[in-house]
Chains A and B, each alone.
Chain A
Amino acid sequence: MARKLLLDKANVSGITGFEVYRREGGYRSVEKALKMAPAEIVEEVKKSGLRGRGGAGFPTGMKWSFIAKPEGVPRHLVVNADESEPGTFKDRYLMEFIPHLLIEGMVVSSFALGSNVSYIYIRGEYAWIPDILEKAINEAKANGFLGKNILGTGFDCEIYVQRGAGAYICGEETALIESLEGKRGNPRIKPPFPAIKGLWERPTVVNNVETIAAVVPIINEGGEEYAKIGVGKSTGTKLISACGNINKPGVYEIDMTISVEDFIFSDEYCGGIPNGKKLKACIPGGSSVPILPANLLLTTAKGEKRLMNYESLSDGGFATGSMMGSGGFIVLDEDQCVVKNTMTLARFYHHESCGQCSPCREGTGWMERILKKIDSGKGDMKDIDLLWDIQRKIEGNTICPLGDAAAWPVAAAIRHFRDEFEWHVLNPEKCLTENFGLRHYADPIHVPVTA
């Protein structure tokens, strides 16, 4: 059984309340951190190797060290709880079941960054969670861990929860900042980065919920201890939200040394695929990362077992690998149609494009329409090439990564499942009632022998 640093206590009865949380060792990191210098905390986070858990995987300590400190200008920590990447529902779990862990991490992080007013920006649809968080905030304040003069150290910190209103794009940090300023969620051109000019033009750090929660064990145990868990640059634990065709969908905390195969088939995690069906494909890190056929998912192109961590999931690049992303793990069984699944994702990105950059605004709509055409048996062979061409023209040509996020799933679907697309074109009637099925997607990979 892997070690749990975040969800270890999530099932303790009453843990959403301050008293139980405190009894279970909660807020120790605040007591410890407030005796340290802010720079020392940043140093511990650097040593821990913690990488942003929202999807991009950028080293958190480094991000923190970029924050500008102009004299007399307030700085802000903003927690990104705008969890919206299809397949991802881990932050919701953390906030719902162990809300004090986020608040505790925020107090420590706010102290490290010099933020006296910090915000949680939560997606509007999670409408019942702000009440849970605000209860935790009030309890922390009543017990001296938040508010004025925390633990008599002279450090003041307020935390406010702000609800979004339905926009995936607000998970992009500059769009989130715009939204928090009461505007449309249009991403900003970078530079300047938020660390220099963020919320109300003040230096700002935006971090994912899980990232901030991970600061708690890092401070409690020390950065070096945290870094001992995991492998390589995938240190600590990661929350994975597993869904699709599996027996046990849910949120799992893993230590990044387990194999993808074990994660899907062991009873400790997903518990295998229902109804004796076979594994066909998987999107391992949220809808924007490349989909992989079963064979490349379980084994890298070099023939090694693929592991659930940043390096291994991306082994082989986009040609034969994928990404850890947000940890949204979507499993497809042999009865699923990759064309249709890709169509729903293209529709999602079209719906969520903010409309600022034409390659994304127009391109996502074209991709959705062409995929609908192929899925409904009205496609041409040249549509597949057109789709490939459009995604290439979106990628890298937009202000924010939503364009890439929309292009990658389409590219990967064509790259690995081109014959399924062609089958739709060649069998316009059959494809309406039947599925292409598993075919060769789980066959062992031919590994070239090198001397």
Chain B
Amino acid sequence: MNVQFSQEKLDKVSEIIKRYPEGKQKSALLPVLHMAQDTFGGWLDTPVMDYVATLLQIEPIEVYEVASFYSMYNLKPVGKYLFEVCQTGPCMVNGSDNIIDYIKSKLHIGVGETTADGLFTLKTVECLGACGYAPMMQLGKTYREHLTKEKVDAIVEECRQKAAINN
């Protein structure tokens, strides 16, 4: 894969860097890593992190140590649709265990695994700040709340349809 942002994205990087004082472009690291992950296949391969280091004129190790600290950066490939199901107290009280079990059996994968067709990855995560709308999961930029088995079915179907259209 050619690791290179489009001109539009490079302009966005410059705009982000301008939010900080001169010489403090490292502050742009988290936002630029989000952009990189979204652009280059949903995870951060080493060449991608090295590219970000070059863009921000910092050492590659400064990127690696940050990418490995924050849970939203994927250091391994993930499926096209990442189901991140919350399992902390308030979600557990409202049945998140059942939702996780249902997704496992429906997609025939365990936690941390990806379906053979590369479409779905299941992850369990800790509190996402949606405790009043439990059980819930994150899917891309959105939260899917008040989950039931029927809702999970609908979400899986929705993702499959989107994937079919994009192919």
Give the interface of A toward B (CB within 8 A). 74, 83-89, 92, 117, 119, 123-128, 158, 160, 162-168, 179-185, 200, 241-245, 249-251, 283, 287, 328, 330, 332, 336, 340-341, 344-345, 347-348, 351-352, 354
Contact = CB atoms under 8 A, between A and B. Distances in A.
Given A241-B131, A250-B132, A287 B30 contact: no
Given A124-B70, A128-B142, A179 B30 contact: yes
5 contacts: A162-B31, A165-B73, A182-B29, A244-B93, A340-B92
Contacts of A165: 30, 33-34, 70-73
B127 interface: yes
B65 A184 contact: yes
Given A185-B69, A243-B134, A163 B31 contact: yes
Interface in B100-140: 125-134, 138, 140
Given A83-B129, A87-B89, 5 more contacts: A86-B90, A125-B138, A162-B30, A163-B30, A347-B126
A262 to B, nearest CB: 19
A86 B131 contact: yes
Given A124-B72, A128-B142, A344-B88, A182 B27 contact: yes
A117 B19 CA distance: 8
B22 to A, nearest CB: 11
Nearest to B146: A249
B28 interface: yes
Contact of A167 (B58, B62, B70): B70
A128 B28 CA distance: 19
Contacts of A341: 89, 92-93
A345 B72 contact: no
Contacts of B131: 86-89, 241, 243-244, 249, 328, 330
Contact of B132 (A164, A180, A185, A241): A241
A344 B72 CA distance: 20
B66 interface: yes
A345 B27 contact: no
B80 interface: no
B28 A125 contact: no
Interface of B: 19-21, 24, 26-31, 33-34, 56, 58, 62, 65-66, 69-73, 87-90, 92-94, 125-134, 138, 140-143
A163 B28 CA distance: 10
Contacts of A249: 131-134
Given A128-B141, A179-B30, A351 B126 contact: yes
Given A88-B131, A249-B132, A249-B133, A182 B93 contact: no
A245 B93 contact: yes
A116 B154 CA distance: 47
Contacts of A179: 30
A182 B26 contact: yes
Nearest to A165: B70
A178 to B, nearest CB: 10
Contacts of A127: 140-142
Contacts of B140: 127
A242 B133 CA distance: 10
Nearest to B142: A128
Contact of A345 (B19, B65, B66, B88): B88
Contacts of A125: 72, 128-129, 138, 143
B112 to A, nearest CB: 14
B20 to A, nearest CB: 8
A160 B72 contact: no
Contacts of A328: 131
Given A182-B28, A183-B66, A249-B132, A166 B72 contact: yes
